[in-house]
Amino acid sequence: MKEDPGHPFLRKADSFIRRHKLLTDGELCLVALSGGADSVALLLTLQRLGFRLHAAHCNFHLRGEESDRDEQFCRLLCQRMSIPLSVAHFATRDYAQAHHVSIEMAARALRYDYFERLREDLGAAAIAVAHHRDDSVETMLLNLIRGTGLHGLTGISPRQGKVVRPLLCVSRSEIEAVLHEWGEPFVTDSSNGVDDVVRNKIRLRLLPLMREINPSVAESLDVTASRLRQVADVFDEAMDRRVEEAGVETGIEGRAAYQLDKIADEYTLFYILSRYGFTPAAAESIYACLQTPRTGALFTSSTHEALTDRGLLLVQPKDDGFKPMRLPVEGKYMVTENRWLHIAVRPMDETFCMEKSPMRAYMDADKVQLPLFLRRTGQGDSFVPFGMKGRKLVSDFLTDQKVNLFDKRSQLVLTDADDSILWVVGRRADNRYRLDSSTKRVLIAAFG
């Protein structure tokens, strides 16, 4: 039953939730529950405000008996509060090693992936996490120290997709005070008191020093972050227009292109590249290289690659998921989610009609050894371009066609059972398999 939010803490949280439209009465909310003070206060607050709740706890098995203690605490708390609880166990160290990430990044990835899958299974409207105002201030300072754009100075957002943060309006001291007032226990993560992580250094050493200068420094920085969020909204609108003006349609799924002469400054470049996993430092380095642009300069982030090509900056994912394919019979083969290869054989008679298109190739079916294969072009590949007699390396042919590095690497070739190239897909068929007066059957390959 919903309580009257007359208590100052409840009133502040309720006002924040309503102002930012984080939760709606009647809809189920999934609450991330660690057992620490912040998440316990979040669970109690949302229950007292009358929201429908389902709690979720992650046991990362990183702190031995302490991890199991936290799980048991959460089970007993939810049992006492009559709130359903789901618990997940993770081999976090194994995941971190397998994915070459830090323990902290592994735990974060596992946690949020689990929460989202559970949210979908339960039909919950949102995932509530217990970040508070001090967390937001720490994030603001952390980004400032590391170097950041405007958004890095806005702290933590009240909403990010389905993740909501109802306690961003209160401080850690307010949370501990209200739990003491309500007589509610919580567990303490012993690793939070060790200042061997940058964020903990900010929390345990930098902020106390700043409070000596200004006791209300956290509140002041939070107000500044709130104002900067409003500035960022206006800024984003202007930057989106600038990026749209610089954008060029590529016609290639997953690839973006921008005109270099319309990327007016380093921040515009950073605004573009930040969407593709490039760090501020990487964007700065790339911008310096672009001052003397050359075709074929390649840059990479953790997820994407960027390439300069004749006045354009091209960006695409590192891996488009293509795998070599065996094509044993006629039919329609799915190459990527939106691209298909059609293979058909037709008699060479009066009903046959050739459609001229770079995305179609016609070959003498009786000169081809089945099965066919579709693969990327590789080093040393050669063929006899249609209309010519001599062999030519595919790489040289693509260079003559002024094909950029991305397209060279992703170029598909259709081969026969002997790995002889029949068609450089979308560009040129092999002259050795051309139709002539003796052709009785036509092999048709159509890509699109």
Helix (H) or strand (E) holding 218, with range, is helix 217-246
Residue 367 has pLDDT above 90, yes or no: yes
Residue 171: the pLDDT is: 94
Report which of residues 29 and 4 the model is more confident about: 29
What does the DSSP 8-state code read for residue 417? T
Q: Are 33 and 118 in contact (CB under 8 A)?
A: no
Residue 191, pLDDT score: 67
3-class SS letters over 38-106: HHHHHHHHHHHCCCEEEEEEEECCCCCHHHHHHHHHHHHHHHHHCCCEEEEECCHHHHHHHHCCCHHHH
Which tokens belong to 192? 């939070």
How far is Cα 52 from Cα 44, in angstroms, rounded to an integer?
A: 12
Q: What is the pLDDT of residue 337?
A: 77
Q: Out of 149-163, 174-188, 193-207, 250-264, pick the least confident.
A: 193-207
C-beta of residue 151 within 8 angstroms of C-beta of residue 62? no
Residue 29 pLDDT level (bands cut at 50, 70, 90): very high
Host H or E run for residue 406:
helix 405-410
Q: Average of pLDDT values for 125-141?
A: 95
pLDDT of 199 reads 84
Under the banding of pLDDT at 50, 70 and 90, the label for residue 254 is confident
- Check pLDDT > 80 for residue 5: no
Where in 377-440 does DSSP place strands (E)? Answer: 382-383, 392-393, 412-415, 421-424, 428-429
What is the model's pTM?
A: 0.66
pLDDT grade for 2, boundaries at 50, 70 and 90: low
What does the pLDDT read at residue 148? Answer: 76
149-153, 209-213, 360-364, 419-423: least confidently modelled range? 149-153
pLDDT class of 338 with cuts at 50, 70, 90 = confident
Residue 196 confidence (pLDDT) above 70: no
Calculate mean pLDDT across residues 151-159: 92
In which order are the strands placed within the sheet that holds 28-32? Answer: 85-89, 52-59, 28-32, 126-128, 163-164, 159-160
State both tokens at 86. Answer: 């789901």
**pLDDT classification of 321: cutoffs 50, 70, 90:** confident
Is the pLDDT score of 40 beyond 70? yes
Name which of 88, 38, 77, 41 is nearest 189 in CA terms.
38
Q: What is the DSSP pairing of strand 28-32 with strand 126-128?
A: parallel
* Helix-then-strand count for the chain, H and E: 14, 22
The residues, any chain, with a CB within 8 Å of residue 396's CB and separated by 6 or more, are: none
pLDDT at 286: 87
Q: What is the mean pLDDT of residues 199-219?
A: 92
Flag whether pLDDT at 264 surpasses 90. no
Strands (E), 101-207: 126-128, 159-160, 163-164
Q: Is the pLDDT confidence value at 193 over 60?
A: no
Q: What is the DSSP letter of 207?
A: H
How many angstroms separate the CA atoms of 373 and 421, rounded?
Answer: 9
Quick one: pLDDT band at residue 157, thresholds 50, 70, 90? very high
Mean pLDDT value across the chain:
92
- Alpha carbon distance 97, 118 (integer Å): 25
| Residue 94 banded pLDDT, cuts 50, 70, 90 | very high
Nearest alpha carbon to residue 9 among 55, 41, 50: 41
The answer, yes or no, to whether residue 4 has pLDDT greater than 70, is: no
Task: Give the mean pLDDT of 137-154.
Answer: 88
